[in-house]
């Protein structure tokens, strides 16, 4: 199994510190803490592809986890919590890319408001997670909340149709 994700160096907080304080840790539901522990390193690796400055990538991942914490009960009750959490991360990253690059800098995959753009964004995400971050198909399925067969199929599709753009 290949997993070359960047190790987590801390939990981070919006004030720039890298650790949650004791009150935040004690208030965090156990399920959320476990989910965060599992997904934080891979989310951080994904963000590092878009934001090369480690502190900026960590801050964006922290922003996504704080947004996730705000809707955790709803996410946990959803049919696919991992997919819902991935969408929160992807939206947070896309918003920060748009903020950084401005409206002219956005590509179709960063504007998932039409079905074909959502598909292009997912293909791009899967390619990043597999070819750049180095995750195996089952790990990608776990991170984005899908099944391995679908991920393998989408990766083949993305490779056939978009490899020239890479």
Minimal CA–CA distance to 58: which of 41, 70, 71, 72?
Answer: 41
- Number of helical H runs and strand E runs in the chain: 8, 0
Which is higher by pLDDT, 137 or 13? 137
Task: Note whether residue 100 is domain-resident.
Answer: yes
pLDDT of residue 123: 85
Tell me the pLDDT band of 144, cut-offs 50, 70 and 90.
very high
Task: Note whether residue 1 is domain-resident.
Answer: no
Range of the domain at 76: 22-165
Task: Note whether residue 17 is domain-resident.
Answer: no
Task: Note whether residue 150 is domain-resident.
Answer: yes
CB atoms inside a 10 Å sphere around CB 30: 7
Task: Note whether residue 13 is domain-resident.
Answer: no
Residues 52-103: tens digit of each pLDDT: 999 999 999 999 999 999 999 999 999 999 999 999 999 999 999 988 776 5
pLDDT of residue 1: 40
Tell whether the model's pLDDT for residue 114 goes beyond 60: no
Task: Note whether residue 72 is domain-resident.
Answer: yes
Task: Note whether residue 133 is domain-resident.
Answer: yes
Mean pLDDT of the chain: 80
In the chain, the number of structural domains is 1
Task: Note whether residue 143 is domain-resident.
Answer: yes
pLDDT of residue 11: 40
pLDDT of residue 15: 45
DSSP-assigned states of every residue in 51-118: --SHHHHHHHHHHHHHHHHHTHHHHHTSS-HHHHHHHHHHHHHHHHHHHHH-GGG--GGG-TTSHHHH
pLDDT of residue 88: 97
Residues 39-66: tens digit of each pLDDT: 999 999 999 999 999 999 999 999 999 9
pLDDT of residue 153: 92
Q: Tell me which range, 13-27, 45-59, 118-132, is most confidently predicted by mean pLDDT.
A: 45-59
Q: Tell me the percentage of the chain whose pLDDT exceeds 70.
A: 70
Which is higher by pLDDT, 124 or 111? 124
């Amino acid at each position: 199994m290949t997993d070359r994700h960047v190790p987590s160096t801390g939990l981070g907080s919006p004030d720039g510190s890298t650790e949650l304080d004791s009150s935040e840790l004690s208030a965090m539901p156990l399920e959320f803490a476990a989910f965060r522990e599992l997904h934080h390193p891979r989310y951080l690796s994904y963000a590092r592809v878009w934001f090369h400055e480690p502190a900026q990538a960590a801050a964006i991942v922290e922003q996504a986890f704080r947004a996730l914490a705000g809707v955790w009960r709803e996410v946990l009750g959803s049919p696919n919590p991992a997919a819902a959490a991935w969408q929160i991360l992807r939206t947070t990253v896309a918003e920060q890319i748009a903020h950084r690059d401005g409206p002219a800098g956005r590509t179709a995959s960063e504007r998932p408001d039409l079905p074909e753009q959502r598909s292009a964004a997912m293909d791009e995400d899967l390619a990043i997670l597999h070819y750049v971050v180095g995750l195996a198909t089952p790990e990608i399925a776990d991170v984005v909340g899908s099944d391995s067969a679908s991920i393998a199929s989408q990766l083949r599709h993305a490779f056939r149709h978009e490899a020239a753009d890479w």
